[in-house]
Structure 1
Amino acid sequence: MFKLNTTLSAALFAAILCAAPFASAQQMQANPAQVFGATYNPVAPVTDGQAQVVYYRTSGVGQQKGAAHVYVDSEFHTGLLPGGYSAFCVAAGSHTLGAYLNDAPTYKGKNVDLYSANLEAGKTYFLRVQENGSGAPQAVTREDAERELAGSRFQAQALSRASKVQACNYLPKPAVPAAQFKDYALSGDVLFAFGKSGHQDISHQGRTAIRELITQLHREHAKLERIEVVGHTDPIGSYAANQSLGLKRAQTVRRLLVDGGLSATSINASSAGSSEPVTDECYGSKAEQVACNAPNRRVVVRVDVRGQ
């Protein structure tokens, strides 16, 4: 259970005078290639003795300008821009945590409105910045947080001064079982024009690619009893729009597979949206980002190979 209470430590007031390692909002926004790292992927569990924190800031309408300064035990950790996140570990136990917008020149996270929490060993906590709050972290379930974190990028511009932050000791990954599925990826740009998804939108080249795939599936598999068609998008646009676009494209490809002779009862369509990127290092103008993100726009036909 994540519980918060406020405490005030006047003795920390002198810390305001210390040099703060904050990049200005203008500096951060001027060169996003330098302030953001990799796109968020689900974090692994940590070993006993540590607690993991994923602190993030959503993007979209209503976000305030500038960075939200994150403090851990009254020490600066990072400054989160909209769409940025930080994942870090601390020793299990009581800590103060907070994220403050318009923080300078008083630097609240160092001396006032300190929000304490007892972080349990082996647990991961997802905390969202409150855009119009007092700095208190907002606890979010993993499911809701990771839905909001899709497309978010690691905040990398500032050097952490939080001495209690530790490198995370992750549990070893379980052994990878033998493959139960085989994937066939179709380029989204071959199938559709950018942003299109309907049956009438699919290109001549895309129809040819699907006919060739059907022939390949029959050649490589004795049984085609379970097939999942998964639509993937690039991160351009909102989470909801990308989920919808991915699903519509998957449904169109499913229809063409059925039209090509595969059983309708054996094929399901779903969307991964922008949550499983192939590449996540795209910057520049929108046209440059669209071109760079081409590998992320794809439809994957996944065949269940168990029992074959």
Structure 2
Amino acid sequence: MPAIAQQTFSNPQPPVTQAAAPGTAPTARAGTQPGKVFGQSYAPVGQVGPQQAQIVYYRDASAGAGRSAAADVYVDGELQTALLPNGYSIFCVKPGQHMLGAYIQDAPLYKGKTTGRSGAELKGGMTYFVKVGPAGSNDAPIMVPRNEAEAQLQGMRAQMHVLSRASAVEACDPASIPVTSAPVAQPVAAKEYTLKGDTLFAFGKSGNRDMNVKGHAAIAHLAEQIRAENTSLQAVTVIGHADLIGSAAAAQKLGEQRAMTVRRMLIEQGIPAQKITAESAGNSDPVVADCSGTMQQKIACNEPNRRVVVQL
């Protein structure tokens, strides 16, 4: 590991000079969903404006004491989050001197509130990647270069289960981009992602509990694909399609229930709820319309009709 990766904050430390590069994912803050332990997987963060300094605080599996022992992260003596192994937290503060620290098995003394914190002069417009030190390292955080930190952050999940008590922490605002004249935008063809109904659900079922392992994996992969391919996401429409077996009313209801389930799961995967709507096409738009034979033959023939389409 390069020497800079082992550099720790001192009391006080000279300004850190790693600047953020433009990213492709929205900031995920700790403490926004109490009761939920982990949120979305890490994706590169973008820049913040000069009025803020951004911190990506993370903990890898090597940082001590087993999976059940949280590392309490403090900002200016107040609790920001409690990082479990392979968890991260992204937050912003105003530029200036701040005290940072992380304690593994902090209770019952909660030393991070009063002692041993490490100071750093944080500059506006900068992003700092800070790693929890190993148990027994006197709370000293480790500052890591961006490229090395983001390699370590791959697969880590946002820590969500602790509400931030740190008054210095604020929501991160993306860096302002100067407005320039631009050509009139041309219409863009809508993107569509089609999920096979039989991959997602048991036959005739529509609930989260009715979804199999392959279905959960397909939804998670789709959410990652949507975030990767659509950096300026405007709207997402989830459309449930049913087959031609049974009544039109039953098909309409099943399509709606399946679309709602997929919508909820995409939200759980980090797609903004306010941008996703769900609707049903029932059996009005079949891919295959001439199925016959026994019931089993009809079920097999109608397989392409049972699908959920996600439009962007």
TM-score (norm 1): 0.49
Between Structure 1 and Structure 2, the one with more helix by share is 1
Normalised to the residue count of structure 2, the TM-score between the two structures is 0.49
